[in-house]
Structure 1
Amino acid sequence: MPVRVLRPALWIALPVVTVLTMAGVGDPVTETIRYLITWLLTVLVPGVLIWRVLAGGRSVPQDLGFGAVIGICWQLLVWATCTGLGVPSLQWVLALGFYAVFFAVPALRRRVTWQPGPGWWQPAMAVLLLLAVVRTVVGLLRAWPLPPIAFDRHQDFWYQLGLIQMLKHDITPPDPSVLGEPLIYHWFANASMAGQSVMANVEPSHILMHQWQITFVISLVLAGWAAGEALTGKTWVGAVAGLLTGVFPATLQLATTPVVEASPAQGVQGPTGALAALVMLGLVGPVVQILRKQTTRGTWPAMILMTALATGTKPTVLPIFLAGAVVVGVYSWVRERRPPWRIVVLGLLAAGFFLAATSSLVGSTGGSRIQFLAALRAQPFYASVSGDRSFPATGGWVLPTLATGEPRLLLFVGTLLVYYLLINSARLLALLGTTTSRARGDPAYWWLAGCVAAGTCITLVFSHTGYSEYHFVRTVTGLGVVGAVAVASTLVDETTRWRPVLVAGLAGILTALLIRLLWFPGPDGPPTVGRVIVALVVPFQVLAVVGLVVVFLTRRRSRSLVFLQVIVLVVAAGLPNQVAVFSSNLYHSASDRLVVGNRNDRVYLTENEQQAMIWLGENARPGDVAVSNVFCMPPRFYTYCKADAFWTSGLSGVQQYLGAWAYAPKNLEATQNKTSFLTQPSPWPDRLQESLDAVRRPTPALLTKLRQENGVDWLIADLRAGPVSPALDRLAAPVYSNPDVRIYRLR
């Protein structure tokens, strides 16, 4: 098929395949079309035009990738303006007004020109986007059926959904689970979804769970491509970077177990962490121009916009960015023999935005602390071998197992540390940019290496009450692999001998395949330190031996060729697992194998519970408040139950008098690094007692107090959560009932 025919055919296939595959997992066709058009017109296209005017024009792929990120800044500005004025429905007017102004101004209109590129880049990009979309649908969306299907969805999903519901109407949102408490959280991703929900007329739950995931992975591929191309100026590097960020992310898993997270930075229950990885890639655009002294008049405004976006995305981004600035600042000062003021400004910009956000946008960090190697608690076999079942962020300054000083446990901790570094080795290869002759003179590679090292190391010294220290390394998920590919490209020149490189890649793939097929599934019997070493480390040692053999047998070895072989070997070794996971998900999807919720999982919700909250959301008005007996998952309340039932506010969008309190700052701080935040007593015991009494032992005086003094409009009584008084039928107005939930209107 001629390229001139193939190119449009692939671009047409992208939206068609997206709509059809999403219809297969429950998304209405018209809903998907509305959402994709909304994202295209309010995020991608404006972002491309803004980036092109400010700092773009180097290539279309770069404009698309960095535009996909800066377009979120524009969309958030539109959302904040219209929502702050109390007219969210006017977002389309402002969004379309952008085009009228842009094309009415000749100076702006003249910037809409495109630099020609290689003829293959468009088909290649279309294929990558198709693969990324299909992988996301069959591997992620299919596993998360839309409400009200009974399912065991992670509690964080309901928390994120509740924020979106609040942000549809308010730019200074309250905590949806605790009436009168301000929301201290990094909610920019949620605000973007809230704006898109209003503009596309799509349910927030559908956007969070399915629709946003598609546009995110498209943006991830585009941004990965743009970052790789911006670092090297080579289109092929961009294509490989896009492949390894959004389609087959370079996480190195060799044996089938233990399973290593293989998702390209995605998580339905964690859109803030996903957006952080995307923003980190977007920052490459202006940072590279500033570090290389290639700025235009708009580079610094673009830098400020992206830094502002990073501020409310995740509290991991700016510390990582600042660490990279410190590393490249020291390097540039030594090399240039004078203060690198442009880098000083970069650091001050990041530090200033971060400090400004600490009071309102950081959030979820209460109870966290410095604890060396605390992240290893979440690594395979930790509790079973060490016997340490302490809660995260509790104990001394070091991991309790390490503090024992017992040689056996020290060896075990060392094994887990090595394993952590090995599974992230493809990203850590970006650090080679500070050692290779062609890259180490470029400050961009020093900044990138500093960011990757910071994300990897902060994870090991920080302890979060919910293991969220891992968001630091996830933030550099895409950046690290882009850096590794870029470093590899600097090792290639006209004298490069490709046969040894291809042999290294083939050896990596074959070794990984054999290990995957022949390696035993895990420790045979109770795990011991020796068995754990065999299960976790020995597969990587086998790969290392194969790599040494390949390098040793290579004639006329040079340092550059050896580094190139190592990068290719490691990246190639990660592909078999990625392809196997993709193939398995594709097969299960094609064979219509149903995904069934686990009724025994504590976060399982019935269809009746979800349907009741959907009804409430459809009948409540903005500003309404509800009281309920739902605080914990599973629903039945008892002292020290896990208070993370955010689904009442999430599905209904109705402010709770008191709902789940697990993530409230007061609750996180109350742990005092001694207990789990999930099982803390409520910081609002009076509200808790009133809520329980309103459902179990209602009196006219109590219901009148809730209605008149606290502004409560609705009462939610979940029969799975505990007893419900028959007197409610007399004291309040019954408006909804099903086998699991009753809803009343307070008189």
Structure 2
Amino acid sequence: MVNRIVVRFAPAVVGAAAVAAFLVSADTPLRALAAYAAYAALAVVLPGTLVYRAVRSRPHTLVEDLTYGAVTGLVLELGAWAVFAAAGVPRWLWLWPAAVLAVFAAVPRLRRHWWVLGYRPTPPAWSWALAAVVVGFTWYLAEAFLWRNPVLPTGEGQQQYIDLAFQLSLAGEATHRFPLDVPQVAGEALHYHWFGFAHMAAASLVSGVDLPLVFFRLAVPALCALCVLAVGVTGWRVSRRPAVGAVAAALMFTVGEFGFENGVRQLFGTQTAFIVWGSPSMTYSWVLLLPLIALAADRLAPAPRGPADAGPRPAGAAPRGTAAGEPPAPPPPIGPGGWLLMAALLLASTGAKASSIPVFAGAAGFALLVVLLRRRRPVWPALGVLALALAAQGFATVVLFAFERHGVAVQPFSGLAPYATPGVAWAWPAVVLAFLLNMQVRLVGVGALLWRRRLRVDGAEAFLLGGALAGPALYLALGHPGSSNQYFVRAAFAFGVLASAWGFVEVCARARVGRRAGAALLGGALLLGGALVAVQVRYGPAARDHDVPHDAVLPLLRWAGALAGLLLLGGLAWRLAGRTPAGARLRGRGGAAALACVLVAGAPGLVMDALANRAEPNGGANHNVTMPRSRVQAARYVHAHSAPPDIVATNAHCLAVVEGWCDSRSFWLSAYAERTVLLEGWAFAPRAVTLGISPFGPFWDQDLFAANEAAFRAPTAADLAALRDRHGVRWLVADRAAGAESPLLDTLAERRFDNGKIAVYRLR
């Protein structure tokens, strides 16, 4: 019995221990790690799992209950945070999980959810595969993010990706305000997708761990590990094949973008490399989106028939699908409660990432179209899924984003146009092909799924295909000044990897790839991936400027041509070998082997990105800025000595001044002080994006700007009193790099901190 328990939970223990080891190696204090783990277990997973068990009909696997329970916990946490923050008592947020646990302990009908029997065992290979993906991807996170970004800067020249300070400021704003303002422009409503940063704020409030430590160390690896599990259990549930979940997790978090370079150059963006830490809101949105996919597929798929529905089991009998010779039992339906859970997840997804709901709605619309054309199933489930998605999008458009477009406009092929050389006839076809290879080669298994179905997809397959198509279609149709239309492709990636893995597993099943052949296929894929990495490390060209735009895609296309030639030669050799008596086992399995080779063609992606981060901060290709220690010291002083509602004013607005123009992407004070600033950098304010104000454009309220500047350059008692009484300003932070403050401030305010570069004053 003990040995069985050890074997059953060994993958989870190994995965968790490896993640903890990476975090400790990145100077994460053990006390903070323990506090965060306790928060995750007791304030997210446990209450969420109890609620999920009360909603779903019958159990499937323990890992599914815990994974979807954790996601349910995140949704409940978001609602509780909004209530407590709006009431002005965010520090009491720990009461929400306590209340849920109390209800489930007190109500007799709910007590049964504390201890559930009848779980189906998970295949050991599936469990170890997911654990391996978690460990491998956490190594990548350590190389690319954890080991490169200290929690607090250690010197004046510390380099940091430009968006991180802005994102940290959103989390800081969420620790004390609902609804959120733009942290850099006090009183300016934040019409933006910020729910993921509210989660980080909640994690800090409940666990007691400092917010920068949550942001730079704990939240991203935890969300990524949860996302791996969500891919694994969703792939299993949607396809009814455990292997699909394992393969999909590997495609999403082990295989990278296809390319040929030694260093990082994001031709058309990335799917997981960089983006999981460069935009943690994307990772948070995936965590919510994957159970949504499972719920939608559960609504759209026919009721499972077979062992799972064959009546009760005798007492003491093994779960269905586990006895020798018995066919695998499909996951039981989630049940009517799935509609309620879907509505809650869609509501949470509205502010997780603006790209999630449009892609989900596209998937639902495509599934409805297929149902109407096929006329083989009731139309109401598909209509219900689409109606919920459209209602969620309406809420997001009207309430969260207040009809602001954030710079999104109909601009076909804007993401491809920079690489198409005018006047070169073959440039556009080459660029389109490069885009498909670079971003979509991991999804080639979708073609295998369509081939196996003879293009007659239905239910869950149609839904996955619709999502995989909707994202790239939106990306190609729309434009954005910051290339944020890429996020539609990333949202669709969650659909695509599930469909691609499903197609690959079905090809393997048709080829009768058993355990031995599967192990050989896995070993061959690992060897091929290692060889591809070695070639790119040795021969890959360094990123450089190009004489003509289309030159940027040529290394990728040449590499693809070379690999296609090798694949063709390998296929011929395989066919010839299969005709010999010794090669009889190869017959009928060439398609599975060829598909595996194509799927791992992007294997160097994450490894090359990790190596690039060793050479240059944050990979060198991303926009890095200097985050001086002196600035962060001053901001942390303000955080430690101010009240959360206090407004801070500063004379630092510019990341840099170029030919007299201010690059207003300065966010360090609001980020590390975790306080709202009267006026810091305004470049990322939704109003600035909507108005088309570039980072070098002027602030839209020049009277406020002048009053802010006068407080530092020519202060008067009346002006400072106006800032205090009218705008709630309690602190002034003078950055001498932006200009020395007036000596009069020492007589009109109280200097509380000065490190020679930054001075902090408290208004009387």
TM-score class, shorter-chain normalisation, is 0.7 to 0.9
Change (3 A) 1:4 1:68: closer
Deviation readout 1:274-331 (Å, 9 max, x if unpaired): 2223322221221111011445121111111111121111110111011111111111
Kept after mapping to 2: 8 A contact 1:328/1:450: yes
- Amino acid corresponding to residue 206 of structure 1 in structure 2: L
Aligned to 2:559: 539
Change (3 A) 1:345 1:143: same
Q: Are residues 1:143 and 2:120 paired? A: no
Per the TM alignment, residue 2 of structure 1 is displaced from its structure 2 partner at its CA by 7.0
Aligned to 2:437: 422
Aligned to 2:258: 252
The one of 569, 572, 575 equivalent to 2:597 is: 569
Q: Distance in 1 between matches of 2:96 and 2:283?
A: 27
Which deviates more from structure 2 when the two are superposed, residues 367-376 or residues 184-193? Answer: 367-376
Change (3 A) 1:507 1:270: closer
Which deviates more from structure 2 when the two are superposed, residues 696-705 or residues 423-432? Answer: 423-432
Aligned to 2:168: 161
Aligned to 1:394: none
Per the TM alignment, residue 201 of structure 1 is displaced from its structure 2 partner at its CA by 0.7
Kept after mapping to 1: 8 A contact 2:48/2:76: yes
Which deviates more from structure 2 when the two are superposed, residues 156-165 or residues 319-328? Answer: 156-165
The one of 272, 280, 284 equivalent to 2:281 is: 272
In structure 2, runs of 5+ residues without a counterpart are: 304-332, 580-585
Aligned to 2:76: 74
Deviation readout 1:517-548 (Å, 9 max, x if unpaired): 56451599953467545412111112222333
Q: Are residues 1:300 and 2:330 paired? A: no
Per the TM alignment, residue 367 of structure 1 is displaced from its structure 2 partner at its CA by 2.5
Structural mapping, 1:321-332, within 5 Å: 321-332=360-371
Which deviates more from structure 2 when the two are superposed, residues 143-152 or residues 438-447? Answer: 438-447
Structural mapping, 1:126-525, within 5 Å: 126-150=131-155, 151-246=158-253, 248-256=254-262, 259-260=265-266, 261=270, 263=272, 266-294=275-303, 295=333, 296-336=335-375, 340-362=379-401, 365-376=405-416, 382=419, 406-408=422-424, 410-432=425-447, 433-437=449-453, 440-493=456-509, 495-496=511-512, 502=521, 505=525, 509=529, 512-513=532-533, 515-516=535-536, 519=539, 521=541
Q: Are residues 1:62 and 2:64 paired? A: yes
Deviation readout 1:592-624 (Å, 9 max, x if unpaired): x996999x9872121111100000011111221
Classify the secondary structure of the residue corresponding to 1:184: coil
Q: Are residues 1:741 and 2:758 paired? A: yes
Kept after mapping to 2: 8 A contact 1:637/1:722: no
Q: Distance in 1 between matches of 2:550 and 2:88?
A: 63
Kept after mapping to 2: 8 A contact 1:68/1:223: no
- Amino acid corresponding to residue 546 of structure 1 in structure 2: L
Q: Distance in 2 between matches of 1:64 and 1:245?
A: 21
- Amino acid corresponding to residue 330 of structure 1 in structure 2: L
Q: Distance in 2 between matches of 1:174 and 1:664?
A: 10
Per the TM alignment, residue 469 of structure 1 is displaced from its structure 2 partner at its CA by 0.9
Per the TM alignment, residue 699 of structure 1 is displaced from its structure 2 partner at its CA by 2.4
Q: Distance in 2 between matches of 1:126 and 1:530?
A: 41
Change (3 A) 1:46 1:245: farther
Deviation readout 1:442-489 (Å, 9 max, x if unpaired): 421111111111112211221112111111112233432222111212
Q: Distance in 1 between matches of 2:411 and 2:506?
A: 38
Deviation readout 1:131-183 (Å, 9 max, x if unpaired): 33333223321122111434222332222222212211222122222122211
Deviation readout 1:539-567 (Å, 9 max, x if unpaired): 11122223333445554999996764443
Aligned to 2:327: none
Kept after mapping to 1: 8 A contact 2:176/2:645: no
| Identity value in percent | 26
Deviation readout 1:16-38 (Å, 9 max, x if unpaired): 44334323222211011101210
- Amino acid corresponding to residue 605 of structure 1 in structure 2: M
Q: Distance in 1 between matches of 2:262 and 2:532?
A: 10
Kept after mapping to 1: 8 A contact 2:227/2:283: no
Classify the secondary structure of the residue corresponding to 1:716: strand
Q: Are residues 1:607 and 2:646 paired? A: no
Kept after mapping to 2: 8 A contact 1:366/1:665: yes
Kept after mapping to 1: 8 A contact 2:533/2:604: yes
Deviation readout 1:194-222 (Å, 9 max, x if unpaired): 11110011122221221101211111110
Q: Are residues 1:648 and 2:665 paired? A: no
Q: Distance in 2 between matches of 1:505 and 1:645?
A: 45
- Amino acid corresponding to residue 438 of structure 2 in structure 1: I
Which deviates more from structure 2 when the two are superposed, residues 653-662 or residues 507-516? Answer: 507-516
Q: Distance in 1 between matches of 2:611 and 2:717?
A: 61
Q: Distance in 2 between matches of 1:146 and 1:99?
A: 33
Q: Distance in 2 between matches of 1:52 and 1:124?
A: 26
Q: Distance in 1 between matches of 2:264 and 2:276?
A: 19
Q: Are residues 1:668 and 2:689 paired? A: yes
Q: How many aligned positions are there?
A: 709
Q: Distance in 2 between matches of 1:73 and 1:276?
A: 11
Q: Distance in 2 between matches of 1:338 and 1:4?
A: 43
Change (3 A) 1:64 1:244: farther
Q: Distance in 2 between matches of 1:407 and 1:637?
A: 34
Q: Distance in 2 between matches of 1:228 and 1:607?
A: 45
Q: Distance in 1 between matches of 2:525 and 2:195?
A: 40
Aligned to 1:691: 708
Classify the secondary structure of the residue corresponding to 1:660: coil
Per the TM alignment, residue 715 of structure 1 is displaced from its structure 2 partner at its CA by 1.2
Classify the secondary structure of the residue corresponding to 1:170: coil
Q: Distance in 1 between matches of 2:28 and 2:271?
A: 24
Q: Distance in 1 between matches of 2:31 and 2:460?
A: 44
The RMSD of aligned alpha carbons is 3.4
Kept after mapping to 2: 8 A contact 1:64/1:222: no
- Amino acid corresponding to residue 701 of structure 1 in structure 2: A
- Amino acid corresponding to residue 351 of structure 2 in structure 1: G
Q: Distance in 1 between matches of 2:352 and 2:443?
A: 24
Per the TM alignment, residue 511 of structure 1 is displaced from its structure 2 partner at its CA by 6.8
Classify the secondary structure of the residue corresponding to 1:541: helix
Per the TM alignment, residue 645 of structure 1 is displaced from its structure 2 partner at its CA by 0.8
Aligned to 1:549: 569
Which deviates more from structure 2 when the two are superposed, residues 420-429 or residues 124-133? Answer: 124-133
Per the TM alignment, residue 51 of structure 1 is displaced from its structure 2 partner at its CA by 2.7
Q: Distance in 1 between matches of 2:472 and 2:142?
A: 29
Aligned to 1:50: 51
Structural mapping, 1:7-46, within 5 Å: 7-8=8-9, 11-46=12-47
Classify the secondary structure of the residue corresponding to 2:464: helix
Q: Distance in 1 between matches of 2:611 and 2:145?
A: 13
Aligned to 2:582: none
Kept after mapping to 1: 8 A contact 2:196/2:285: no
Aligned to 2:121: 116
In structure 1, runs of 5+ residues without a counterpart are: 387-400
